[in-house]
Amino acid sequence: MPAKENLNRQFNQWIDKFESLFTNSQDIMNLFSLSQRKILRWNPQAAISMGYTREELERLPVEELYPPEELAKLGDTFAILMEKGFSEAKQKIYNSKKELRDIWIRSFVIQYEPEILCLVHTIDITEEKEKERQQLKETRLAALGEASASLAHEINNALQGIQFNLYLLKDEARKALPASGFARLDKIESNLAHIEAVIRNVQNYTHVSESSKAYTFVSSLVDSALQILEGYLDSRQIEVQQELAKNLPPLWINGNQLVQVLLVLIKNAAQAMVNTSSKVLGISSEVVAGELVLRVKDSGCGIPREAHGKLFSSFVTTKRAGVGLGLGLAVAKKLAAVNKVSLSFTSVVGQGTEFSLLFPPSLTASAQALLVLYVDDKESLAESSEEALARHSLLVIKAQTAREALRILSHNRVALLLAGENMYPLSGIDFLREARALHQGPMVLLREEGCGEDEQLQLSQGLEVKVRSYPRSEEAWVKEILRCIKL
């Protein structure tokens, strides 16, 4: 009958179409027998996508493909397929390197008799999933930043209340308390200063949304990161060994972001050493072939070779949810990249891992530039004045605390030292006194209220300091600094 022939021809055409689709598809496809619970055929793309040869893939049992928790779900998928003739799910599957891939899998029943056959169409969505996860992570990070900013504000308010009351209490206690009791009040005060420093660091750390770059020394980055993690490293009995080269040029980077990168590297290093007998964290810097390199090295368990490829791209973590800051190496790599810094590593299982941050020459300040270190806990120097000073080959490095500045001076030579008078906990004068051992050039103390044109302060024998009022305008800043540097 012509009608039947027609139907047969149509059916054969359809089979041909199906065959060509199956063979030529860029997605993974297979023909699955629901009756036998067995994959009958894979398409050529499947072997390519999953990294097997065709023969390997044909022989591979299903249990090798899926992680156990996914295998457990297969029963449900089969039940749905039987009932509805169609199923759709997001699953995880191993490739030949035993890497987990995210897949979107759709199955259609294409034949019921004599056995139930399904066409299974699979799309690898690992990259999309990764992007999604990263976005979620970034959103969470931003939220964390916002939350901690207002948290820091609240804590600072409370700290202020404690300080006022402590001040009043000390005044009253002077008459009433024995010396030992008074000493306890001093201890409370120094503990307060510690909390304050921690909060200041958290504020600096979460203050990443503003992508402000400034000339920063590598030693300052290391200092900030280690200060934040001091307790963390201490409690894990980790010995920190620093070998920072002296007089490295400052770098044009976003310091907050690079500190974040260091935090991730140092925490990872610490975690790699949890179960090792040797717990040495090495931080070193040097210039290699014109590029500044900062290395973070641990004596930990090392990273297995299989994990090397996905270290930066996926959120491979040994941390439990909610533990730590939740910053992965992927974020670290990205933050480094935003600053044109490259992040790489070498690792030997059983010996340890070394991460290297490579700062290209384009980020380093010219060797001819004169450095001005400005230490103050408030920001009085506008960016535009810095730009104007840069035209005179003067680079301004800012430090927010005396401690930070002393650390900078111990590693770097600067031409001029400017310090705000009312810094806390170490005042400007006390700071300059300590700084003299590290800095031989001119020193200037900036005072809130006006002072004489050429006022000098004799702090001690041979320690003279110029006293200036805070310049009121950009122009005045530039003029003042130029004048002081010629002293």
Min separation Cβ 231 and other proteins, Å: 20
Q: Among 17, 97, 153, 174, which residue interacts with other proteins (rule: CB under 8 A)?
A: 153
**Binder among 383, 448, 475, 483 for other proteins (CB under 8 A):** 448
Residues 450-469 that bind other proteins (CB under 8 A): 450-451
Torsion of CA 92, 96, 99, 102, to 10 degrees: -30
In the complex, the smallest distance separating the C-beta of residue 196 from other proteins, rounded to whole angstroms, is 6
From 33-41, 162-170, 277-285, 390-398, span contacting other proteins (CB under 8 A): 162-170
For other proteins, the binding residue among 45, 77, 276, 427 (CB under 8 A) is 427
Q: Binding of other proteins at residue 148 (CB under 8 A)?
A: no
Chosen residue from 5, 55, 83, 171 binding other proteins by CB under 8 A: 171
Residue closer to other proteins (CB basis): 96 or 204: 204
* Residue 200 in the binding site for other proteins (CB under 8 A): yes
Of the two residues 125 and 162, which places its CB atom closer to other proteins in the complex?
162
- Is 329 within 8 Å of 268 (Cβ atoms)? yes
CA-based angle 283:287:293, to the nearest 5? 45
Alpha carbons 261 and 267: distance in angstroms, whole number: 10
Does residue 253 contact residue 260 with C-beta atoms inside 8 Å? no
In the list 12, 35, 157, 241, the residue contacting other proteins (rule: CB under 8 A) is 157
CB environment 276-304: b (16+ within 10 A), e (fewer): beebbbbbbbeeeeeebbbbbbbbbbbbe
Q: How far is the CB of 220 from other proteins (least distance, A)?
A: 16
Q: How many helices (H) and strands (E) does the chain have?
A: 16, 18
SS3 420: strand
> In this chain, which of 40, 71, 142, 168 binds other proteins, going by CB under 8 A?
168
Distance of closest approach, residue 148 Cβ to other proteins, in angstroms: 12
The answer to whether 45 contacts other proteins (rule: CB under 8 A) is no
Q: Residue 371 corresponds to which tokens in the numbers above?
A: 């450095």
**Residues that contact other proteins, how many (by CB under 8 A):** 35
* Contact criterion met (CB below 8 Å) for 444 and 421: no
For residue 67, report the phi and psi dihedrals to the nearest 5 degrees: -70, 155
Query: Cβ–Cβ contacts within 10 Å for residue 143, how many?
Result: 10
Element housing 325 (H / E): none
Query: Cα 380 to chain center, whole Å?
Result: 29
Contact range with other proteins by CB under 8 A, out of 154-162, 245-253, 333-341, 401-409 = 154-162
In the complex, the smallest distance separating the C-beta of residue 187 from other proteins, rounded to whole angstroms, is 16
Output the DSSP codes for 62-100. HHHHS-HHHHHHHHHHHHHHHHHSEEEEEEEEE-TT--E
The piece of 34-42, 122-130, 203-211, 366-374 that touches other proteins (CB under 8 A) is 203-211
Distance in Å from the first CA to the final CA of the chain: 111
Query: Binding string to other proteins for residues 373 to 392, with x set by CB under 8 A, is what?
Result: ----xxxx------------
Does position 204 interact with other proteins (CB under 8 A)? The reply is: yes
Smallest gap from Cβ 382 to other proteins, in A, equals 8
Is residue 151 a contact residue for other proteins (CB under 8 A)?
no
SS3 of residue 192 by DSSP = helix
Residues contacting 308, CB < 8 A, separation 6+: 347
Segment lying near other proteins (by CB under 8 A), choices 242-250, 278-286, 423-431, 434-442: 423-431
As measured in angstroms, the least distance from the Cβ of 205 to other proteins is 11
Q: What is the rounded distance in angstroms from the CA atom of residue 273 to the CA atom of residue 252? A: 33
* Pairing between β-strand 100-111 and β-strand 117-124 as defined by DSSP bridges: antiparallel
- Residues at the contact surface with other proteins, assessed by CB under 8 A: 149, 152-154, 156-157, 159-165, 167-168, 171, 192, 196, 200, 203-204, 207, 377-380, 422, 424-425, 427, 447-451
